[in-house]
């Protein structure tokens, strides 16, 4: 076993690496961090301006009836975005300070072997989202092909394959290619959506007002369930916040990093959600790509808007859905980064994304989000309890890289707490994320205190035997 010295953001420490660890999983040094605050904000704008979020907005309208009105929608969004930003800022701190990725952070609570389970629970939803975004991008590309070919070409499956292969190639250039892609995509897509918003307001404002703005809606379970869908949509991303913050230049305070999350999510998420709900109210179609074709009855504009959608699908995958599962595959298989990226892209082919969203309803997407977020909520709270309460933000990173050290095997307290939290979440799946966060975090704290007295995972925590 060799030892490399890595300069961290706060101190210089010596980290032992086994020969099987790929370079991409080693802590990021100060010199290798090239993403500045401006690029970081545009990265999250590019992530937020996508068809998945637009489809969530469209899911508010079911069979022509809105489950929430305008006020309820925006209030639910504000609550969710506030919670999302807080969790982002809290959970990104370890990765930002030490440069470690999420799959290594997991070892702190779950152990080397236990992190396999928890990392898969992050990686699998990302792969499904990868496939979903590629499918919507392929649908948009098909709309372009139909117009350009005069209707002679109409095959979404082929367009899906083309989009997927393009993303595999782009992702092989690593994280640094992402920031330039995101800046371009976020500007172009926002301009396109401003135009669509204008068209909707000019030609469909009456029906939108009737079906959404002035709808009765609900302040009950549908309101809180939609907050949970919001949170669930971002749960996987802020769970692996370390994968992003480790790329950010050093010297940025916690408060400023929180702002770097909050402001772009407000702009992108709020606007895209609104467009999605307006499209569904105006057309009765939950698939935004097909709704666009109905609303924008001009082939040239349809091509332009569809091109924006294709760029958006690629942009969000580059940020949220490629890097995390690639790190998971690299960690589990010991493969290099580029082969792992290719495998991630090939797995996304098998995600059957066309099942999640039908023309008449996007409830399949909502259900998928609620199910996987039932597990991610407990994992997030376990990591936060570990770092802030049990370890008081003091972690010896070198131990996380030792395959047979303190964190070898699995921590039964973390596994049990995750299962208990997820079980509680499934008892009321519409509120599953917040239930899982509370129950999972409390369960972990109590299990670490009272169970498995001789567990080596208590070393360095407030429950260590003195």
pLDDT per residue as tens digits for the range 414-453: 999 999 999 999 998 778 888 999 999 999 999 999 999 8
Residues 6+ apart with CB under 8 A from 367: none
Residue 133 tokens read as 């975004």
253 vs 452: CA distance, rounded Å: 37
Out of 13-27, 92-106, 332-346, least confident range: 13-27
Residue 42 tokens read as 């545009």
Out of 32-36, 99-103, 268-272, 389-393, least confident range: 268-272
Q: How much is the pLDDT for 390?
A: 97
Q: How much is the pLDDT for 181?
A: 62
304 vs 432: CA distance, rounded Å: 39
Residues 6+ apart with CB under 8 A from 345: 130, 164, 165, 167, 168, 171, 322
Angle between helices 114-148 and 323-333 (to 10 degrees): 140
Residue 269 tokens read as 């998420």
185 vs 360: CA distance, rounded Å: 28
466 vs 464: CA distance, rounded Å: 6
Pick the most confident of 65-69, 98-102, 137-141: 98-102
Q: How many helices (H) and strands (E) in the chain? A: 21, 4
Would you say the C-alpha torsion 109, 111, 117, 120 has a positive or negative sign? positive
Strand partners, 3: 16
Residue 353 tokens read as 């994304």
Q: How much is the pLDDT for 104?
A: 93
- What would the mean pLDDT of 195-200 be, rounded to a whole number? 84
Contact 71, 223 (CB under 8 A): no
What are the chain's domains? 33-374 (1.10.4160.10)
DSSP class of residue 36? -
286 vs 114: CA distance, rounded Å: 39
Whether 410 shows a pLDDT value over 80: the answer reads: yes
**Digit-coded pLDDT (tens) for 287-318:** 777 787 788 777 777 787 778 778 778 877 87
* Length of the chain, in residues: 466
Element (H, E) at 176: helix 175-203
140 vs 187: CA distance, rounded Å: 19
Would you say the C-alpha torsion 211, 212, 218, 221 has a positive or negative sign? positive
Residues 6+ apart with CB under 8 A from 462: 389, 390, 391, 392
**Of 442, 465, 461, which Cα lies nearest the Cα of 453?**
465
Per DSSP, the residues of 226-244 read HHHHHHHHHHHHHHTTHHH
Q: Tell me the chain's radius of gyration from C-alpha atoms.
A: 22
Residue 69 tokens read as 């009105």
Q: How much is the pLDDT for 229?
A: 79
**Which burial class, exposed, middle or buried, applies to 131 when counting CB atoms under 10 A from its CB (0-12, 13-18, 19+)?**
buried
Would you say the C-alpha torsion 234, 236, 239, 242 has a positive or negative sign? negative
Instruction: Find the DSSP H helices in 92-113.
Output: 93-98, 102-105, 107-110
pTM: 0.81
- What would the mean pLDDT of 139-155 be, rounded to a whole number? 89
Out of 239-253, 263-277, 448-462, least confident range: 263-277
DSSP class of residue 248? B
Contact 269, 262 (CB under 8 A): no
Cα of first residue to Cα of last residue in the chain, in angstroms, is 31
105 vs 98: CA distance, rounded Å: 10
- What would the mean pLDDT of 213-222 be, rounded to a whole number? 86
* Reported confidence tier of residue 9, pLDDT bands at 50, 70, 90: very low
Which residue is listed with tokens 């909502």? 366
């Amino acid at each position: 076993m060799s030892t490399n010295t890595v300069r961290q953001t706060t101190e210089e420490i010596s980290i032992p690496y086994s020969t099987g660890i790929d370079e991409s999983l080693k802590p990021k040094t100060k010199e290798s961090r090239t993403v500045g605050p401006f690029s970081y904000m545009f990265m999250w704008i590019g992530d937020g301006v996508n068809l998945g979020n637009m489809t969530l907005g469209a899911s508010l309208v079911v069979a022509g009836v809105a489950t929430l009105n305008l006020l309820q929608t925006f209030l639910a969004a504000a609550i969710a975005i506030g919670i999302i930003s807080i969790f982002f800022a809290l959970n990104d701190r370890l990765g930002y300070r030490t440069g470690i990725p999420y799959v290594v952070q997991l070892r702190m609570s779950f152990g080397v072997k236990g992190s396999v389970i928890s990392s898969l629970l992050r990686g699998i939803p990302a792969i499904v989202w990868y496939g979903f975004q590629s499918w919507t991008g392929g649908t948009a590309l098909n709309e372009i092909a139909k117009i350009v070919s005069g209707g002679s070409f109409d095959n979404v499956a082929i367009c899906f394959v083309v989009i997927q292969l393009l993303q595999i190639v782009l992702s092989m250039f690593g994280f640094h290619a992402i920031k330039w892609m995101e800046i371009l995509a976020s500007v172009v897509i926002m301009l396109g959506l401003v135009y669509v918003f204008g068209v909707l307001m000019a030609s469909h404002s009456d029906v939108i007002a009737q079906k959404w703005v002035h709808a009765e809606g609900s302040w009950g379970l549908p309101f809180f369930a939609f907050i949970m869908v919001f949170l669930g949509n971002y749960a996987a991303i802020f769970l692996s916040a370390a994968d992003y913050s480790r790329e950010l230049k050093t010297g940025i305070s916690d408060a400023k990093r929180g702002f770097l999350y909050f402001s772009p999510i407000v702009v992108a998420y709020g606007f895209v959600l609104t467009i999605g709900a307006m499209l569904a109210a105006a057309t009765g179609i939950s698939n935004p790509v097909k709704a666009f074709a109905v609303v924008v009855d001009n082939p040239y504009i349809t091509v332009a808007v569809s091109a924006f959608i294709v760029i958006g699908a690629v942009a969000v995958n580059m940020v949220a859905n490629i890097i995390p599962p690639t790190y998971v595959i690299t960690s589990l298989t010991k493969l290099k980064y580029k082969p792992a990226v290719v495998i991630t892209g090939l797995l996304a082919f098998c995600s059957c994304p066309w099942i999640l969203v039908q023309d008449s309803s996007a409830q399949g997407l909502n259900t998928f989000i609620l199910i996987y977020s039932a597990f991610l909520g407990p994992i997030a709270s376990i990591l936060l309890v570990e770092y802030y309460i049990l370890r008081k933000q003091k972690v010896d990173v070198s131990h996380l890289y030792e395959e047979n050290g303190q964190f070898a095997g699995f921590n039964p307290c973390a596994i049990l707490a995750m299962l208990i939290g997820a079980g509680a979440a499934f008892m009321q799946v519409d509120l599953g994320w917040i239930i899982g966060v509370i129950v999972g975090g409390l369960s972990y704290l109590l299990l670490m205190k009272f169970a498995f007295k001789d567990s080596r995972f208590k070393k360095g925590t407030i429950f260590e035997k003195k």
